[in-house]
A and B are shown apart, each in its own frame.
Chain A
Amino acid sequence: MCVKVNGLFCRCPVICVVLGMLAALVRTYRLPVISKVLDVFMALCKAFPANLILLICIMIYTYKFNDFAAFFHLDVNIRDVNLIYIAILGLTIVSLSGISEVLRSGLIAIPKGQFEAGYAVGMTAFQTFRDIIFPQMFRVVIPPLTNSILSLLKITALVNVMGVSDILKSATDAATESYAFLEAYVAAALVFWVLGIIIERISKMLEKYFAKSVKQIA
């Protein structure tokens, strides 16, 4: 169970940041068609409460999964799919727009001259992004991105509406055997706290690493 829970936390932020980055890039460089589709999708995602999205995901999954599989000619049964993947999908939909917007705000904060300088030196758009834009953008988004990842960590407690184990659910499951609910909740709180501290520390380290090129503000 512990492994499952960890998987949820480790995979979800990574997936969100990678997809969010791609979405932010598509929307900033304004790729035709896809950027329009994403604009609408992001606006929708932002509007729904997290547990509603999770409930809709699990409903679609239980009622429609076999139809989906048949449509794409997949040879899988609903029982073969671990619920945790649906939880990851749901949490990704919930957090993706927020994380993507954080990354996009970093991207549009970079002055146009930095792009132009890269092109003028003879670098391609990709090289300019990789070597010049991304490092500067990343420094800007570390604090808000840390916030987003922390909220993502906290809303994982909602996935028990799907019947998936998370930190809180594992704690209460353990408590039902011994009726030690208070202890269980405190234990769950401790786990969240430790995870929070770890994320915070990583964020501070990254911030320090990327702050070299910037003057310290007195």
Chain B
Amino acid sequence: MIEIKNIYKSFDKLKVLTGASIRVEPHQVVVVLGPSGSGKTTMLRCINFLERADSGELTVGDMTIDFAKVKKKEIHEIRKKVGFVFQNYNLFANKTALQNVMHGLVVVKKMPKEQARKKAEDALAWVRLSDKLNYYPSQLSGGQQQRVGIARAIALEPEIILFDEPTSALDPELIEETLEVMKNVAKQGITMLVVTHELSFAQDIADKVIFMDGGVVVEEGTPEEIFNNPKEERTKQFLSRIIAAKSFDAGKDKFAGESLCQEK
């Protein structure tokens, strides 16, 4: 279980988070939507202390801390309980795919090397990368790198995995393979908090959808409630904009296809 209460964060004068609160139950998949600049990514990074929130309360499992007066040791404890998948993968550039997954197990979890290797191999097999164990990140495609990133997060068996726009840096044809893996993660019953623009993922997989704007949670509910019956004006606007953009893309493809046919 993870819960944030009243989180505030500003960068100099720019107020990014102004009292957002969210709660994720065990085995739940929660998707956070919102326009850019709404503070979703910042909130995610605050949970893992990659960014220091100014105030608020964070509960991860049985640990509750106050953002304003958190100690170094507590930060370390929380990071061990929370996995993170980055938008731009951030694999360790000096380590192979296998070492990327293994390293945390050996150094952080103090697992014996052989056992860690076995576990890392399993995790990579699970994201269908068994044939790339000894490849360095620079030799892998974006989608493959992101799958290694996901394997690295699951292998550590955290209480929750945070996904920060995991498909935003990927080419359209690579998005599918990554989403497929994320769906499998969800099916395993791993608690997930996902920031994404992939509405289809939210629709199919999420137990709860949170819509954020202006640093606060505007609306939350089941995917059906949010997508079919949004109550807030801002949610409606956001969804209609995204859906319009998507159908425009789809229409463009169709149009291009038709004109090709005509030429023939």
Q: Could you tell me which A residues sit within 8 Å of B by CB distance?
A: 111, 113-114, 116-124, 127, 131-132, 135-136, 139, 210, 212-215
Q: Does B103 contact A (CB under 8 A)?
A: yes
A117, B95: Cβ atoms under 8 Å? no
Sample of 6 more A-B contacts, CB < 8 Å, known A113-B90, A131-B92: A111-B90, A113-B86, A114-B93, A120-B82, A127-B108, A213-B96
A123 in contact with B108 given A117-B86, A136-B94, A213-B94 (CB within 8 Å)? yes
**B138: chain A residues within 8 A (beta carbon):** 213-215
Q: Does B203 contact A (CB under 8 A)?
A: no
Bound Cα distance from A132 to B104, whole angstroms: 11
Bound Cα distance from A215 to B136, whole angstroms: 9
26 contacts between A and B (CB under 8 A): A111-B90, A114-B92, A117-B90, A117-B91, A118-B92, A119-B48, A119-B50, A119-B79, A120-B48, A120-B50, A120-B79, A120-B82, A120-B83, A120-B86, A121-B104, A121-B108, A121-B156, A122-B80, A122-B104, A123-B104, A135-B94, A139-B94, A210-B94, A213-B96, A213-B137, A214-B138
B50, A123: Cβ atoms under 8 Å? no
Q: Could you tell me which B residues sit within 8 Å of A by CB distance?
A: 48-50, 76, 79-80, 82-84, 86, 88, 90-96, 103-104, 107-108, 136-139, 152, 156
Closest to B51 in A: A116
**Whole-angstrom distance from the CB of B168 to the nearest CB of chain A?**
14
Closest to B152 in A: A121
**Whole-angstrom distance from the CB of B119 to the nearest CB of chain A?**
14
Bound Cα distance from A114 to B49, whole angstroms: 15
B107, A123: Cβ atoms under 8 Å? yes
B139, A215: Cβ atoms under 8 Å? yes
**Whole-angstrom distance from the CB of A207 to the nearest CB of chain B?**
14
**A212: chain B residues within 8 A (beta carbon):** 136
**Whole-angstrom distance from the CB of A30 to the nearest CB of chain B?**
15
Closest to B79 in A: A122
B90, A114: Cβ atoms under 8 Å? yes
Which DSSP category, helix, strand, loop or mixed, fits chain A's interface?
helix
**B92: chain A residues within 8 A (beta carbon):** 114, 117-118, 131-132
Bound Cα distance from A111 to B93, whole angstroms: 10
**Whole-angstrom distance from the CB of B47 to the nearest CB of chain A?**
11
Q: Which residue from B48, B84, B86, B93 sits with its C-beta under 8 Å from A136?
A: B93
**A131: chain B residues within 8 A (beta carbon):** 92, 103, 107
Closest to A121 in B: B104
Bound Cα distance from A212 to B138, whole angstroms: 11
**B136: chain A residues within 8 A (beta carbon):** 212-214
B84, A127: Cβ atoms under 8 Å? no
A213, B108: Cβ atoms under 8 Å? no
**Whole-angstrom distance from the CB of A42 to the nearest CB of chain B?**
28
**A117: chain B residues within 8 A (beta carbon):** 86, 90-92
Bound Cα distance from A111 to B103, whole angstroms: 19
**B83: chain A residues within 8 A (beta carbon):** 120
**B108: chain A residues within 8 A (beta carbon):** 121-123, 127
Bound Cα distance from A33 to B256, whole angstroms: 63
**Whole-angstrom distance from the CB of B190 to the nearest CB of chain A?**
16
**Whole-angstrom distance from the CB of B107 to the nearest CB of chain A?**
6
**B76: chain A residues within 8 A (beta carbon):** 122, 124
Pairs of residues from A and B, 7 with the lowest C-beta to C-beta distance, nearest first: A120-B84, A113-B90, A121-B104, A117-B90, A122-B108, A122-B80, A213-B136
Closest to A139 in B: B94
Closest to A136 in B: B94
Closest to A213 in B: B136
